[in-house]
Amino acid sequence: MQALKQTDFQFPAQTGFYRGKVRDVYFFGDRLAMVASDRISAFDVVLPRAIPYKGQVLNQIAAHFLRATADIVPNWLEATPHPQVSIGKRCEPFRVEMVVRGYLVGHAWREYKAGKRTICSEPMPEGMRENDAFPQPIITPTTKAQAGHDQDISEAEILSEGIVTAEEYNLLKQYALALYKRGVQMAAARGLILADTKYEFGKWNGQIYLIDEVHTPDSSRYFYAEGYAERQAKGEPQRQLSKEFVREWLMANGFQGKEGQQIPNMDDERVAAISERYIELYEKITGETFQKQDYTNILQDVEAAIRNFLED
């Protein structure tokens, strides 16, 4: 099964390179080219098989929402010269991620279930159940620890540690809540509920920019709106539109990224099923028909797209 697992290009004007769990990033001074590979990760582990069209799905969803929110805050994206390539400004990232939660789900629910009633110093009302809506969205920032895992952090800690200034943080909060509100509206138009999501910001020429991906199923959790109230009333799990289905399959096969655990075998049938699920995510979230790209000369096509953009 054809897929783009990784790239190893060398461009004449290249000033650096970084390979993340799923993206290969090429630096060109104050610009960067981000290649969304078809690698897939879960539990902080890159799985052995690449998923056809996954990179295209995430790249195109991110571009879709970056363009749809550019009136709220400027963002880093300048062009998508290939379905798996985004090129834009190389911003200096803030060392904090703005997680916006409209619903008690995921990490917040695990904290709540453990008896905690605050998260990042934000109060969580008594009597809530998993997947209930908060009275209003809350911001629960995270910061990168030395080990690379996200750590909860409060606004007071962010300011006392000098991660950002008070003026910058107030802007980040305004932007994050406005972006989430727009995301909620766009999701509702597609019959979805944007339960929670995260935003990353950086600076370029002294101005704050939205960076990275936005409202993708890898960075956000969506519920299906139809039947949401009925499922809550019955205490049933919500139908989710996210990468959770991959994690659930791994857990059902005895893998949670812990030491000594073996990644279950992903045969062609499983890889194809995950690929089709990502395409379904794309079409549901954007309302557009997915156009499968040609993998025949994928490496050459990606390299040429970046070269041509740089030469223009």
Number of domains in the chain: 2
Q: Give yes or no: residues 164 and 304 share one domain.
A: no
Tokens standing for residue 61 = 């969803």
252 found inside a domain: yes
151 found inside a domain: yes
Host domain of residue 275 = 16-90+243-311
Q: For residue 219, which of 80, 91, 58, 105 has the smallest C-alpha distance?
A: 58
Q: Could you report the per-residue pLDDT of 244-276, keeping only the tens digit for each?
A: 788 889 989 999 888 899 999 899 999 999 999
**Euclidean distance between CA atoms 95 and 58, whole angstroms:** 23
Q: Give yes or no: residues 140 and 209 share one domain.
A: yes
Domain boundary among 208, 241, 274: 241
pLDDT at 203: 97
Domain boundary among 225, 241, 257: 241
99 found inside a domain: yes
**Euclidean distance between CA atoms 206 and 163, whole angstroms:** 16
Q: Give yes or no: residues 237 and 154 share one domain.
A: yes
Report the range of poorest mean pLDDT among 113-127, 131-145, 177-191.
131-145
Predicted confidence (pLDDT) at residue 293 exceeds the cutoff of 90 = yes
Q: For residue 183, which of 96, 68, 272 has the smallest C-alpha distance?
A: 68
Q: Give yes or no: residues 77 and 115 share one domain.
A: no
Predicted confidence (pLDDT) at residue 308 exceeds the cutoff of 80 = yes
Q: Which residue type does 52 have? A: P
Q: Which residue type does 57 have? A: V
Q: What CATH number is attached to the domain comprising 51?
A: 3.30.200.20
What is the pLDDT confidence band of residue 298, given thresholds at 50, 70 and 90?
A: very high
pLDDT at 218: 84
Q: Could you report the per-residue pLDDT of 146-196, keeping only the tens digit for each?
A: 555 679 999 999 999 999 999 999 999 999 999 999 999 999 999 999 999
Q: What CATH number is attached to the domain comprising 189?
A: 3.30.470.20
> What does the DSSP 8-state code read for residue 78?
E
Q: What is the largest CA-CA distance in the chain?
A: 60
232 found inside a domain: yes
257 found inside a domain: yes
Q: Give yes or no: residues 281 and 292 share one domain.
A: yes
pLDDT at 198: 96
Q: Give yes or no: residues 126 and 70 share one domain.
A: no
Q: Give yes or no: residues 230 and 253 share one domain.
A: no
Tokens standing for residue 225 = 């709106």
**Euclidean distance between CA atoms 167 and 144, whole angstroms:** 21
Q: Give yes or no: residues 210 and 136 share one domain.
A: yes
Q: Supply the mean pLDDT for the chain.
A: 94
Q: For residue 226, which of 195, 279, 188 has the smallest C-alpha distance?
A: 188
Q: Could you report the per-residue pLDDT of 63-96, keeping only the tens digit for each?
A: 999 999 999 999 999 999 999 999 999 999 999 9
pTM of the model: 0.91
Place of tokens 């749809």: 68
Most confident of the following: 115-129, 133-147, 265-279: 115-129
| 119 strand-pairing partners | 122
Q: What is the DSSP string of 214-266?
A: -S-TTTEEEEESTTHHHHHHHTPPPPEESTHHHHHHHHHTT-SS-TTPPPPP-
6 found inside a domain: no
**Euclidean distance between CA atoms 227 and 81, whole angstroms:** 39
Tokens standing for residue 308 = 């041509």
Q: Give yes or no: residues 149 and 272 share one domain.
A: no
Predicted confidence (pLDDT) at residue 33 exceeds the cutoff of 60 = yes
Q: Say how far residue 167 (Cα) sits from the centre of its chain.
A: 26
pLDDT at 245: 82
Q: Give yes or no: residues 54 and 115 share one domain.
A: no
Q: Give yes or no: residues 103 and 218 share one domain.
A: yes
pLDDT at 95: 94
Q: Could you report the per-residue pLDDT of 34-67, keeping only the tens digit for each?
A: 999 999 998 888 999 999 999 999 999 999 999 9
Tokens standing for residue 85 = 């390539």
250 found inside a domain: yes
3 found inside a domain: no
pLDDT at 257: 86
Q: Give yes or no: residues 253 and 151 share one domain.
A: no
CB of 46 within 8 A of CB of 58?
Answer: no
CB of 68 within 8 A of CB of 288?
Answer: no
3-state secondary structure 150-190: EEECCHHHHHHCCCCCHHHHHHHHHHHHHHHHHHHHHHHHC
pLDDT at 147: 53
Predicted confidence (pLDDT) at residue 144 exceeds the cutoff of 90 = no
Between 26 and 217, the more confident residue is 26
pLDDT at 208: 98
Domain boundary among 222, 241, 260: 241
pLDDT at 43: 84
